[in-house]
Amino acid sequence: MTTDFTLEELQSATRNHGMPLEALAYTTTPVGMHYVLTHFDTPRVDPEAWRLEVDGRVARALCLSLEEVRSRPRVSQQVTLECAGNGRARLTPRPRSQPWLDEAVGTGEWTGTPLGPLLQEAGLLDEAREVLFTGLDRGEQGEIVQWYQRALSAADSLRPEVLLAYEMNGVPLPPQHGFPLRLIVPGWYGMTQVKWLHRITVLDQPFWGYQQNVFYRIARDEDDPGVQLTRMYPRALMVPPGIPVFETRERLLSLGHQRLQGRAWSGWGGIIRVEVSTDAGQHWQLAALEPPAAPHAWQAWSLDWEAGEGRHELLCRATDAAGNAQPLEPQWNLKGVANNAVQRLVVQVRRDLDSSS
């Protein structure tokens, strides 16, 4: 693993932020602890002037105020979101972008109105193929000046769990999470969850855009068209046990009984198995696994461990109902996306720490 991080990477890392892993203790991640990745700037939106436009290949274009969106049928669901770039900083050579380690995740209680009925009200024409979502965030990436844009197939757009969300954890969306309205597509990586949404355009042909066709792909090299990212691959993370060393983030534990615990999720189906190793991967044990609190939310796991004195390397890995499992080593790709290699955590078990640590 290379460690020569650049100023450009640091600039991204101090702006965006991960979920401190101790926040895995919360079923719903508090605002400010949930991960945030903003490609450009967080726009400041006047909710009075804001409108949601629905146009393109529809029978009736719509233009809705925030009050009109909020007066539609209201649904709340707990959804785990993860950045597609989570794990990027562990790749060698390292693709240059936001340098996440393991922490680009969070679970919010998202409240909004289902997208499908709104599209049905507008009336998709027969030739409708994709639905394009445009945010109010604008900047240059890959030498292209752009509004942030992502598209879904018409069929995916009509899935019942897809929401236009205006609240997070029971309060209006914070600015950094997309105020006043964002898309929530449960199970999909974060790049899909368009923030500061203000336009929905129904297209009769596939959308081409930087964030769709250039960046968020699993590709070997520049010449490989690769595969578009959609759903999250499985990952398990552990609440770092004991207390941290500030400088290294290694963990110090007292001797004896420890309950190791964490969360696991996948966009491809429920998690069916979480395994934990306390000896750097030589042996694995099955963790106890709870059902998810909601269909698209992470699942809690735990394992009791008798911690002996000395240094231990703790690992955890998840397998989902579709048969996807986490690799032990990172799988490199050009943009550094979807690296769901297992988490590795170094702990020092020390006789001199009292049990309150």
Q: Which residue lies nearer to a copy of itself by CB, 3 or 205?
A: 3
The residue among 284, 279, 282 whose CA lies nearest residue 325 is 284
The CB-of-54 to a copy of itself minimum distance in angstroms stands at 21
Interface residues toward a copy of itself, by CB under 8 A: 1, 3-18, 20, 22-23, 25-26, 30-34, 36, 38-42, 44, 89, 96-97, 99-101, 103, 138-141, 145, 171, 174-177, 240, 243-249, 252, 353, 357
100's enclosing H/E stretch is none
CB-based contact 78:28 (threshold 8 Å): yes
Q: Which residue lies nearer to a copy of itself by CB, 293 or 325?
A: 293
The CB-of-285 to a copy of itself minimum distance in angstroms stands at 25
The CB-of-217 to a copy of itself minimum distance in angstroms stands at 16
State how beta strands 171-172 and 182-184 pair: unpaired
What distance in Å separates the CA atoms of residue 229 and residue 297, rounded to the nearest whole number? 19
State how beta strands 256-265 and 299-307 pair: antiparallel
The residue among 104, 107, 133, 93 whose CA lies nearest residue 12 is 104
Q: Which residue lies nearer to a copy of itself by CB, 239 or 293?
A: 239
The CB-of-302 to a copy of itself minimum distance in angstroms stands at 16
Sequence-distant (6+) residues with CB within 8 A of 349 are: 253, 254, 255, 307, 308, 309, 310, 311, 312
Q: Which residue lies nearer to a copy of itself by CB, 253 or 342?
A: 253
How far apart, in Å, are the Cα atoms of 229 and each of 44, 61, 173?
A: 29, 30, 26
Q: Which residue lies nearer to a copy of itself by CB, 7 or 49?
A: 7
The CB-of-356 to a copy of itself minimum distance in angstroms stands at 8
The CB-of-83 to a copy of itself minimum distance in angstroms stands at 11
The CB-of-309 to a copy of itself minimum distance in angstroms stands at 16
Q: Which residue lies nearer to a copy of itself by CB, 251 or 296?
A: 251
What distance in Å separates the CA atoms of residue 124 and residue 54, rounded to the nearest whole number? 11
Q: Which residue lies nearer to a copy of itself by CB, 76 or 141?
A: 141
* Tokens read off for 273: 């198995």
The CB-of-118 to a copy of itself minimum distance in angstroms stands at 26
Instruction: Residue 94: count other Cβ atoms within 10 Å of its Cβ.
Output: 19
Q: Which residue lies nearer to a copy of itself by CB, 82 or 103?
A: 103
- Residue 254 one-letter amino acid: S
Sequence-distant (6+) residues with CB within 8 A of 132 are: 56, 149, 150, 151, 199, 200, 201, 202, 203, 207
DSSP 207: -
